[in-house]
Amino acid sequence: MSAVIEAPVPRKKHLTFRQWVGRNGWRHVVAWGAIALALFPVLWMVSAAFTHDPSISSGALIPTQPTLENFQTLFSNPDQPYANWYINTIFVAAIAAVFTVIIAAGAAYAFSRFRFKGRKVGLMFLLLVQMFPQFLALTAIYIIMVNIGDVFPAIGLDTLPGLILVYLGGALGVNAWLIKGFFDTIPIEIDESAKVDGATHGQVFWGIIMPLAVPVLAVVGLLSFIGTINEFIIASALIQTPSTKTLAVGLQGFIANQYSENWGPFTAGALLAAIPVVILFFLLQRFIVSGLTAGSVKG
């Protein structure tokens, strides 16, 4: 019985430091540099929120005597009702995100599953509209809201429902394209099988397509939520009453005047405003990568 000769296992070649730097080291340097650039403004904001100094130019990156004074200032000034701004912002952002997802998903389903005259033109029109920022039509939007308020005061100027309707005016565009790309990856045989069983287009959309498209819907909802919280120009023009303001508009009052730049309360308010976004991001993070990649490879 002949013995089996095993081939020698090749030893793993160890890279020298110079070779490692040439192959992988520069990637680590670039990654850590990008992380430092991204975290530095956040660290500075956190430092300014917990320091006594109202100016951010003379404060240290790590405060020597941390304080909660800036957070107390936010909730103690009746002329600047931060709690109302916070509630208004969460309300507007949540409602706008939900209806943005519904509107964009409905349009994307029509463009993905139906074939009709003007389909390609409509898709290109949605994409071209995104070239023009919404605030370019601010004058027209303001006049429209004033006239609507004369007939329907509940959705007119200086109302949160009216502000939500304006935000929903830009719900399509990139959102519809992103969701359509995801819908295109769902086999159309699923729709046809459901229709054979007697399902209507509405039942297919709500019962089959929407549950399968949860990843991309989560991405669109998250982006809409963040964009609405950060939006300032339109909200500052349409909202005038202090108690009706959103966070972006209200916090701007702390640093608006030349001789009353209260950066401490401003950064404290911005830090609290980031909490809902962070929570929502962690809740939806498992959908983010799959939703973005699946919606960008086809369509």
* pLDDT tens string 182-212: 888 888 888 888 888 888 888 888 988 898 8
Cβ–Cβ under 8 Å, residues 220 and 178: yes
Model pLDDT for residues 137-185, shown as the tens digit of each residue: 888 889 999 999 888 888 988 899 999 999 988 788 788 888 988 888 8
Chain centroid offset of residue 123 CA = 23
Which tokens go with 219? 């991405």
**Helix (H, G, I), strand (E, B), or coil: what is residue 261?**
coil
pLDDT of residue 181: 87
Least Cα distance to 262 among 82, 48, 47 occurs for 48
Query: DSSP secondary-structure letter at 245?
Result: -
Cβ–Cβ under 8 Å, residues 95 and 165: no
> What is the C-alpha to C-alpha distance for residues 136 and 281, in angstroms, rounded to an integer?
30
CATH of region 79-294, choose from 2.40.50.100, 3.30.1490.100, 1.10.260.40, 1.10.3720.10: 1.10.3720.10
Give residue 82's identity as a one-letter amino acid code. Answer: Y
pLDDT of residue 1: 47
Q: Which segments in the chain show pLDDT lower than 70? A: 1-15, 17, 19-22, 53-61, 257-261, 289-299
What residues does each domain of the chain span?
79-294
> What is the C-alpha to C-alpha distance for residues 246 and 251, in angstroms, rounded to an integer?
8
Count other Cβ atoms within 10 Å, centred on residue 14. 7
> What is the C-alpha to C-alpha distance for residues 171 and 100, in angstroms, rounded to an integer?
5
